[in-house]
Amino acid sequence: MTTDHEFVHVAIIGAGLGGLTLARILQKHGLDGVVFERDASRDVRTQGGTLDMHAESGQRALSDTGLHAEFLAIARPEGQCMRIADKTGAFHWDEPEAPPTLERPEVDRGALRNLLTDSLEPGRIRWNHKLISIEPAERGCHVLRFENGKSITAGVLIGADGAWSRVRTLLTDAKPVYTGVSFVEIGIADGDHTNPELADLVGHGSYLALSDNKGLLAQLNGDGRIRVYVAFRAAETDPVLTGIPFERPADARQALLAQFADWAPQLTGLISACDDSFVLRPINMLPIGLNWQSQPGVTLIGDAAHLMSPFAGEGANLAMLDAAEFAKELLATKAPREAIKAYEAKMFARARDAAEESARNLELCFAPDGAARLAAQMAAYQAPGSSDTTA
């Protein structure tokens, strides 16, 4: 029941993969957890491309939600394959068939978010609740005010509110900074039928063409769309980025092609065949190793705590693992202050390791010989005795 000012034991800000995973696990254990999300509904934004769910993190969290079997029904193990080429089209790594394991199956982000959203009881997600202010109250509680005029008191406040987290301001002054790399997201609908040659090139998983501090990063989505990130190492003010006339798709396409004039035509076909949707995505990160003095009644999960570039493929996996690990601590101690301290100590360490790897991979990929360097690292990961398999 909604009253003018209610008390919520665990208030989760943000219905991304982290916040939803936490809400689902709390619900499973009969705890009062409510997600407050600024979007008006689940459908107001498209949810982006495909994610590989790692066995030791994202999938482990899914097991704790009790939804692992449902996840496997929407996962695409065949999407685990990877091809890496340079600008001539020569392959430095070619794995056209996926390994016969379930270590890192792909899943569409939208399908995964729907699975989690549908698993929550009515009232566990409050849409159209943009958090606009937070005031500390007694005994570690916080009074939260939302743009729609409503307010609540939270016993425990979890910031799962992503890169530009409002909740983070309670714990640290740190803010995301630009990594020096930007993506222009484009895509080709129904690639198998509209562009079979490009679909063959990309295969069932990911295709990365990397040279000259640039990249064409393509991935097949569950609906047959080939999603392509045209990636540049460039300052945000660089005309390479500011000069793209996004409002005129034909000219935007030509502007992108001009940056890849000496790349093989089979690769630049990914740009010339793209439809009229262009989205600029500057890639930001929080400082590596960010931590803070634990405070009663509030913590962060996911990008709010450790935004990093996508080059370790860890962001969504870690957001979900954070949720599962925080829930585990809370269920074990029932004392939120102790749960937060125990969770944060482990989260800081694993986030630092992933952020370091992500930053290293960014440097590998955006180099004159990015393809050769990334392929050499893939080979090293797969060498006997290596425990790391991330790409």
Ligand X SMILES: Cc1cc2nc3c(=O)[nH]c(=O)nc-3n(C[C@H](O)[C@H](O)[C@H](O)COP(=O)(O)OP(=O)(O)OC[C@H]3O[C@@H](n4cnc5c(N)ncnc54)[C@H](O)[C@@H]3O)c2cc1C
- Does 316 contact ligand X by CB under 6 A? yes
- Does 298 contact ligand X by CB under 6 A? no
- Cβ-based burial of 172 (10 A; exposed 0-12, middle 13-18, buried ≥19): middle
CB 25 to ligand X: min, Å? 14
- Does 26 contact ligand X by CB under 6 A? no
- Does 75 contact ligand X by CB under 6 A? no
Task: Kindly list the distances between the CA atom of residue 97 and the CA atoms of 80, 283, 378, in Å, as whole numbers in the listed order.
Answer: 8, 30, 16
The region of 208-216, 257-265, 289-297, 303-311 touching ligand X under the rule CB under 6 A is 303-311
Q: CA-to-CA distance for 137 and 59, rounded, in angstroms?
A: 36
H helical segments located in the chain = 17-28, 58-65, 68-74, 109-118, 191-194, 196-202, 239-242, 249-258, 265-272, 303-306, 315-333, 336-365, 370-382
Q: CA-to-CA distance for 368 and 370, rounded, in angstroms?
A: 6
- Residues binding ligand X: what is the number (CB under 6 A)? 32
- Does 19 contact ligand X by CB under 6 A? yes
- Does 311 contact ligand X by CB under 6 A? no
Closest to ligand X by CB, 130 or 328: 130
- Does 103 contact ligand X by CB under 6 A? no
- Does 131 contact ligand X by CB under 6 A? yes
- Does 39 contact ligand X by CB under 6 A? yes
Q: Which two tokens mark 14?
A: 């943000």
DSSP secondary structure of 299-336:
EE-THHHH---GGGS-HHHHHHHHHHHHHHHHHHH--H
CB 305 to ligand X: min, Å? 8
The region of 12-20, 96-104, 236-244, 264-272 touching ligand X under the rule CB under 6 A is 12-20
Closest to ligand X by CB, 52 or 325: 52
- x-or-dash string of contact with ligand X, 143-172, rule CB under 6 A: -----------------xxx---x------
Give the CA dihedral 26, 296, 299, 28, nearest 10 degrees.
0
- Is there a contact between 278 and 184 (Cβ–Cβ < 8 Å)? yes
- Tell which one of 24, 37, 211, 355 touches ligand X (CB under 6 A): 37
**Pairing outcome for strands 106-108 and 125-126:** unpaired
Residues that bind ligand X (CB under 6 A): 13-19, 36-39, 51-52, 129-131, 160-162, 166, 183, 281, 302-304, 310, 313-317, 319
